[in-house]
Structure 1
Amino acid sequence: MPDRDVLMYLDEGGRVIEWHHRAKELFGWSAEEAVGRSVAALLREAGAAGGRRGEGFPDTAPVLVKPVLRGSSVVWQVRAVADALSRQQDVALIRAMFTQSPVGLHVLDDQLRLVRMNTAARGLRDVPADDLIGKRFTEAYEFEDAEEELAVARRVLESGQAVLNRLVRDIEPPDVRKRRIYSVSYVRLEDCGGGVLGLVASSIDVTERENAHRRLALLDAVRARVGRRLDVPAVCQELVDTVVPAFAGIVVVEVVEDVVRGEEPPLVPVDRLVPLRRTAFRGRISAYPVGDVRPLPSGTPYSHVLSDLRPRLVPIHEDSVWLAADPARADSIRQSGAHSMIVSPLALHGHALGVVSFYRHRQEDPFEEEDLQLASDVCAHAALCIDNARRYSRERTIAATVQRRLLPQQPATPSSAEICQMHFPGPEGGGAWFDAITLPGARTALVVGEVAGRGITAATTMGQLRTALHSLAPLDLGPDELLARLSDTAARLAAERAALPAGDPLGHEPLTAGCAIAVYDPVDLTCTIVRAGLPAPFALFPDGTSCNLAVPPGPLLAGTGNAPFPATTVSLPEGTTLAMGTVSLAQEVLSGPLRPLLDSGRTRPLPELCDEIAEALTNGRHAEEMLMLLARTKALPPERVRALSLPANPKAAPIARAAARQQLEAWGIDEETAFTNELIVSELVGNAVRYGAPPLQLRLILDRTLTSEVSDAATSAPHVKHARTVDETGRGLFIIATLAAQWGARYWDQGKTVWAEQATGMPDAPPL
C-alpha cells in the first residue's frame, strides 16, 4: 500500500518522478501534468495563475523533504508536514494511553488473544504482563460468565459494532472473598483498507462506584416499599422481601413482643428476659419458625445490640464463641454457609423495638464497613414504620375492644325465634352491630346496623345509636317510626360532629349509617320490616323456597330531608330462616356467590350454617367488616293466647275479669298474680270503654311474661293522671303503672292497643 503521507518523489535535478494523489489535492495538477516537470516551475506557474492549490489544505501547507535511497539512486521524498505532526501526536497519545491512562487497555488479535496491554491493565489483576500475553481476554480476567463475554467479543469482531460499558463481575478468587466489578467495552481494530486486525478491550474497575449506587438504590427501594401496610408483622415481611437478595442472602427480623401487641417499646438497655417474636424471615434455614417468641441469647451480638443500640459487623467463624449461646441458631448458621453478619437495632427515640440480623453466605461478598451504615439507615426507616404500625395496632385494638363491649355480651335468646349471629371485624375496627330486642306481646325486634368508617369513632357512634335504639324500643313504636326517631338521633350526632373546631379532623368526616329492623310477631306469624341503607333481608321458607324480601329502601340515617322509611309486612311461617346483614356481607352471601349455602340451610342448625359461611368467607380474604344475623321463627302455641271481643259498655269489665280469671287458672298462674291481673284488665277495659271506640278486644298472651292487651278503634293517646283525693276518676292508668312491670300503647291503622306486662309468678318461664 502506498504511504498516504507522501506527496511526490523528485530526482536529483528537482524533476517530478512520482506524483501522488495527495499532491494533486494540494497543488491541483494531475500526475500526467506534473511528472517530468521541474517542481520549481510548477510552483511558479501556480503563483502566477492565482493559485491552483486544493481547497482542503491551508495556503501555507508546509512540506518535509528528505533524501531516500531507491535502488542505487538517491531521490527526494516530499511529505506533508501536517500529517507527519498528526502521526507524531497519535504516537504520543498511544504512548500516554499505554503508560499513564487509568483505563485498562488490552489489544486482542483476531483470535481474541491478548497481544498487548497497558500498565493500568496489569494493575487490575496485579499479574505480570508476560503471564497474560497470549491468553484470551476472558481467561486473563476470569469473568463470572466467561462464555457470555467471549460471545460478545466475537460479535464485535464479526460485526464491527462496538459494545460499550458492560458491567461484568469476575470469579471469586480462592484467596480473596471480595469480587470486583468492571465496566468493559469492546471496539474492533481495522487497518487502512478496512481489514480486521482484532479488538481493543478496555476495562475499568467500578466496584466502589457500583456498590455505592447499589446502596443508594436499596435505600430508595426500602423507603418506597416498606411501610405500605399498618401491621407490624407485615412491615417486617416487607423489609425482608426488599433487602433479600439485594443486600443479604438471609435476613431475620425479631421484634419485642410488647411492640407487636401495640404496647410501648422498652427503654435501653433491654432486660435480657424480654421476649422477642420472630416476625419475618427469608433465606435458607431458619433456627426458629416465624411467630416463635423467646428472649435473645445472652452474650451474643444480638443481645449486645439491645443493650446499646449500636450496630455490629461480625465475621462468622467456626470457632466464634458466641455461637455456643444458642445451639439451634448456630446450627442454622453453619448449615446455610453464612460467613458474615450485620446485627442492627430497630430503635426509635432511645426505645428498642427489635433486632434485624443480615447474613451473607456461600458466594456472597462479606459485609464492609460501608454496609454497616446502610444497614443502620434501612433499620431506621423500618423502625419508624414499625412504630407507626404499632400505634395503629394499639388504636385498632382499642377500637375493637370498644366495639366488642358495645355489642351484646350474651347471645340473644328470644322465645319467638332462634338467633345466631356471625361477625367479622374489619382490620381497623368498625361500626357494625346487631340486636334482638324483646317487645311486648311475645314479639321480637331483629336489628342490624352499620356506621361507616373505622376505628374508635365508628365504634363509639355505633354505641350511641344502639343505646338510642334500646331507649326507644320500650315505647313500642312501629318499626318505621322507630327508624325515623333513630335517624333524628343520627342527625343530631352529625350536627355535633360538624360543629367541632376546624382543627378537629373528626369534623371533616361525615356521619353515615344504615339500619334494618324486622319486628316478628309469633302470634300472627308476620314480620314488619323497614330498612335504611342496608340490603333487603333474605328469607328461606320451610318448603325450601327462598327469596330476598321486597322491602322498599329508605334513606341512610342522618340523611338530608325528611324522606319516610316505608315499612313492609310479610307472612313468615313457623320455621322460616330470616337473614339480615351488612352491605359487604350481602354482596357475598345474601345475593352473591355464597347464596347456595343459605339455600341449603332450611333444616340445618343455625350455628352449623353460620360456621360454614364463616369458613367460606375466611378463605376469601375479606378486608371489610361483615356482620350477619340469622333468625329461625317459632310460632306461639294457640293455647298460649286468649282473645275475646268485648261490648262497648260497662258490662265489658266484668266479662273481661271473668275471662282473665278463668284463663289464668287454666295456665296455672298463682292466685296473687291472677288477682293483680284482674285489676289490670279491669282498668284497661274501663279506660277503653270510657275513652275509646268500638270494637273492643281483650287479648291475653302467656310467654316469658304475662301480657294483657285491650284494643279499640280510637287513636287518642292514653296518659297517666294524678287524681286528687276527692276525684272519682282518673286513677286507671296510674293503677296499671303501679301494678304492672311495664305498660304502653302501640298504634295501628284502625286504632290502638294498650298493654301491660306482669311476671308470671312461675319459677321458670314456660317453654314453647
Structure 2
Amino acid sequence: MRPDVEVFLCRLAREFRPRVEQSADELLQVMRRELPELSEHEDLATLAVEEGVAHVSTFLDLLERRLDVADVEAPEVALEVGRQLARRGVSISDSLRTYRLGHLSLLRQLQEEAARLSGDWELISAATIKLVSTAFEYVDRASEQIVAVYQRERDLLLQRRLILANEASKRIGSTLDTVRTAEELAEVGTDGFADVVTVDLFCSVLHEENSRPGHDAQGLRRIVEQSALDDFPVSVVGTDEVITYPMGSEPARALATGQALLHHMPPAMPGAHARQESWGPTPVPDVGSLLLLPLRARGTTLGLTQFFRRRSTPPFDEDDLLLAQEIADRAAVSIDNARRYTHERDTALALQRSLLPRGAVKQSAVEAASRYLPSGMHVGVGGDWYDVIPLSGARVALVVGDVVGHGIHAAATMGRLRTAVRAFADIDLMPDELLTHLDDVVIRLAREEERHDGETSATCLYAIYDPVSRLCSVASAGHPLPAVAQPSTTGGDGPASRSVDFLDVTAGPPLGLGGFPFETAQFELAEGSLLALYTDGLVAHSGRDVDSSLTMLRDVLGQGSDSPEEVCDQLLATLLPTRPADDVALLVARTRALDHDHVAVLDLPSDPAAVSGARRFTSGKLADWGLEELSFSTELVVSELVTNAIRYGRSPVQLRLILQDTLTCEVSDASSTAPHMRRARTFDEGGRGLLLVAQFAGRWGARYNREGKVIWAEQALPSGSQ
C-alpha cells in the first residue's frame, strides 16, 4: 500500500474523531430501523448508543494508529449488548445484519469526509479500498466475538432453565399439603426466574372438599405472594385475602379460557393504581412483564399463579412461558392431589409404589394374561402381586407373590418386593438365587420397620421360561405350586383335552425366615403348554377344601380354551363365583417355542484365530435371515465378545445368535469372571471392546449359571424386517 494512503487514513481518522457522537447517532438510527426490539427496551437502546460510540472510536484507532485488526478486541459494551440480546431472545442473525448495515453507514460517512479532505481521486480511491478491507476485517472479527458471547449466554440461559425444571420436579409436591405446595411453587419461581410470584386458589379448593372447583366458584384466595427482591414489593393484595377479578380483565380471561398468557406492560401503564377495571388487583409500579398461568389438573381449573418481572429485568419470552407452564402444571397436579387426598395422605404415600403392572409386557416367549381381584372383606387391600419380566436371550420371568396380611402396610410391602424382584431379575439371577436375595430383603425390611404386630412375611414363586430350549426353571418360597397343561389334543369327535399336572417343585420356606435354602427345578415344556401361577386366594375358601379347588382348577385347564385370557375368565368364574374373601392374583401363560431356523449355534476353540471364523459364521447367518444391514455392527459385537471370552474366559466357548423381535448375540464360556467397561487411555491397546458393544447394542449384559457365564447383546431389527 502507498505510504501516502496510510498517512491520508491517519489524517482522515483525526479529522473525523470530533464527529464520533454524530456518527454513533446515525448508527443508532440504522439499528432502530432494522431492529425494532430496541424501541421496546430503553436500557438496550442506551447500551446501543454506547456501543456505536465504542465501535466508531475503535475503528478510528485502527486507522490512526495503524493497528493490526487481529490484535483488536470488540468493545466490552458490544459484548454486553450481545449478552442482552441473547437474554431477550433477539435473533443473532437480525442483530448481525443490523451491525453490518451500521458499519456501511460509517463507511459512507468516512468517504464523504475523505472527499472533503482531498481532491486527489486516485488517493481517495486507494484509501477507500483500504477502508473497505479494514472495515470488513473488523466487522468479521467483532462479529465472531459477539456471536461467541451470544451463544454462551444462550447456553447459560438454557442451562438455567433446565436446572429450574429439574428443581421443580424435585421441590414441588413433596407433601400432600395444599398451602405448602403453593409455597414450593413460589419458591421455585423466584429462584432466579421471576422477581415476584403469587398463587391464588379458588376457595372451593381450600374449604369445600366435596365440591368441584371451577372459574365460577366463589372468589379466589391469595395463598402466597413471594418476592425475590427486598426493594420490590409484591402487590396491593395481602396473603389470605379473597380476590375477585373483574370480568374482561386479563386474569379473568386466563381463568375462563384455561390458557396461559404472556403480557408486557406498556410504558404508559401506571402500575401504581391499586385497581383497574382492565386488570383487577395489580402489582406495584415497575412491572415490565408477567405470566398468567391457570392452575389446571385433570381438566379442572384450581386457581391462578402469576410470575412478574420488573422493567430493569429482561422480559419474559415464549420460552419462559413454556417453562413456567411446565412448573405450574406440576404444581397444579400436586395441589389437586392434596385437595382430593388430604384425609388419605398416609394411604396415598403407602400405595404410591405398590401398583400392579398394567397392560401387556412386550415379549415373545409366552402369551400371557393376568387377573387381580381385591378382597371382598373390609380388611382392605392385600399384598398379592404378579409380574411378567422380559429377560435376555428371548427368555421371560413369570412371578407371583403374596405378602402376609392386609391393609396399607401389606400393599406397600408388596410394591417394595415387586421392585426388588425386578431389580434382581435385571441381573439375570437363577430362581433360587433370586429368592435367597429376596429373603434377605424381607428380613431387612422387618428390621428397619421394627414391627411389633407380627413378623413381615411373604411367599413368592419365580419361574424362567426359555423358548429356545423350552426349559422352565422354577423355585418357590412357600408359594402354591404352578399347574401345567400340555398342548391340547383332539380324540376322535370329542372335545379337545389336555393332561394337567402340578410341577414337582421343592417348596422352600416363606420369605422372611432366613437361613433356609431354596431349590431350582427344571422342566421341559412342549410348545403351546399352559402354565398357571396363582396365589392361595384362588383355591383356599371357607366351606371348600384346597384339594377340591385344585381338582376344579385341573378340570378347567384340561378342558378349557387355549387362550390365556379365556382361561383366566373360566378359572375365576368356576373357582370364585362370589367376591373372594382374600385377594387373588392369577397369571396364565401359553408357551411359545423358537424354531431352529431362528437360532444359530457355533462352538469355538479357545484360540484367537477362531474370531475370524465367528465373524464369517455371523455374516452368513445374517445373510440367510435377510439382515445384511446389521452385518457390520453384529460382526463387530461378535468379534469383541468372542475375543473377550477366549482371552479372559475358559473353554468351552460358544456363540449363539437368536432372531426374534430383536437380534441377540450371546457368547458363553466356563469362567465366572465379571466383565466391565472401563475408560481406555489414549495409548492403551485394549479396553474398548465392551464400550463398542454398548454403542452398537440397544441392550447388553451378563448372566451367570452353574457352568459359567453368558455375555449378551441385543440389537433392534431394521424397519421392514421380521
TM-score for both structures, normalised by structure 2: 0.48
TM-score for both structures, normalised by structure 1: 0.45
Structure with more helix by fraction: 2
